[in-house]
Amino acid sequence: MGIDFKGRVAIVTGAGGGVGRQHALALAARGAKVLVNDLGGAVDGQGGAMTAAHSVVEEIRRAGGEALANGASVTDFEAVQAMVAQAMDAWGRVDVLVNNAGILRDKTFAKMDLADFRTVLDVHLMGAVHCTKAVWPIMTAQKYGRIVMTTSSTGLYGNFGQANYGAAKMALVGLMQTLAIEGAKHDIRVNCLAPTAATRMTQGLMSEEDLRALDPAAVVPAMLVMASQDGPTRTILCAGAGTFEAAHITLTAGEWIGTGPQAPEQLAERLAEVMDRTGSTVPPNGAAQGNNELARARAAAKARV
């Protein structure tokens, strides 16, 4: 059985070019009705025109698909609500949301204006929050939803000159963790995609050969799997140049040190043991950390009796 989206409605933000365009085209090719959102701004978020969104819509229609264009800024919640209403008015449901819109304002943290930090957070994090908030009651009511956040290796592992971008991208992982838990009873599955792709944001940074390998279309299979009916939830998939990986936020088994006056020195001495990844786990929720700590404390107390 192939993955298909017949009868499904998808919204893809930042879909006028790059990875977002490929997402929109792929969803449409597999049967989804697609609302193509793109502000049409520059890489840094300046300006705006709906030309790019209309172009992708025309591409989808020429291939026999159904699509609508939308030029809302994801930073404007009222405009986002109107965007979701546009999809509902046309097609009566929203099944898939791909939060892909983003901008770059790279500088070292020392040289970065706080305004540039805040703007990047506003687009990536609050943009995804706005779109997700607007579709959440619809997905809850229809007992079905698939949401894909776009995180990044910069958020997961860091990258020089991208403190704002990395903070925003890792925040989306935290958002996913809780929304996946809250959405489970309504069959709303929430995942993150960390793409490596040659786009406007990577021009001038790589060789021509590497740029060809990092075709934005190569990351789309990960999105399609996560957005599909049988897709996972609370999963971070990384993708680029035909390779797919999974990233996990793990918890080591840890060591009980105690709370005595020498605890800081003892922790410093035994830090390697605390950081030992043997037997590490992927916790099902945040409470697992506290449960592990209490279990260790109880075991230590029992051993002292």
Q: Are residues 113 and 235 in the same domain?
A: yes
Residue bearing the bigger pLDDT, 211 or 246: 246
Q: Are residues 270 and 225 in the same domain?
A: no
Q: Are residues 39 and 149 in the same domain?
A: yes
pLDDT at 202: 59
Measure the CA–CA gap between 147 and 186, rounded to whole angstroms. Answer: 13
pLDDT at 42: 62
Q: What is the mean pLDDT of residues 24-32?
A: 98
Q: What is the mean pLDDT of residues 44-72?
A: 88
CB atoms within 10 A of CB 76: 14
pLDDT at 44 over 60: no
Measure the CA–CA gap between 218 and 54, rounded to whole angstroms. Answer: 23
Residues noted as catalytic: 165
Q: Are residues 207 and 278 in the same domain?
A: no
CATH no. for residue 227?
3.40.50.720
Q: What is the mean pLDDT of residues 25-36?
A: 98
Q: Are residues 222 and 267 in the same domain?
A: no
pLDDT at 43 over 90: no
pLDDT at 208: 85
Domain containing 280 equals 263-304
Q: Which among 43, 97, 95 is positioned nearest to 70, based on CA atoms?
A: 97
Instruction: Look at the chain and report how many structural domains it folds into.
Output: 2
Percent share of the chain, pLDDT over 70: 94
Strand pairing partners for 37?
A: 70
pLDDT 10s digits, 107-130: 999 999 999 999 999 999 999 999
Q: Are residues 219 and 70 in the same domain?
A: yes
pTM of this prediction?
Answer: 0.94
pLDDT 10s digits, 225-236: 999 999 999 999
pLDDT at 40: 79
pLDDT at 266 over 80: yes
Distances (CA, A) of 256 to 75, 96, 267, 293, 298: 45, 44, 9, 8, 10
Q: Are residues 118 and 200 in the same domain?
A: yes
pLDDT band at 47 (very low <50, low <70, confident <90, very high): low
pLDDT band at 209 (very low <50, low <70, confident <90, very high): confident
Q: Are residues 99 and 140 in the same domain?
A: yes
Q: Are residues 32 and 68 in the same domain?
A: yes
pLDDT at 201: 55
- Is 179 among the domain residues? yes
Residue bearing the bigger pLDDT, 209 or 289: 289
Distances (CA, A) of 239 to 93, 102, 236: 29, 18, 10
Measure the CA–CA gap between 161 and 150, rounded to whole angstroms. Answer: 19
Q: Are residues 180 and 205 in the same domain?
A: yes
- Is 295 among the domain residues? yes
pLDDT at 203 over 70: no
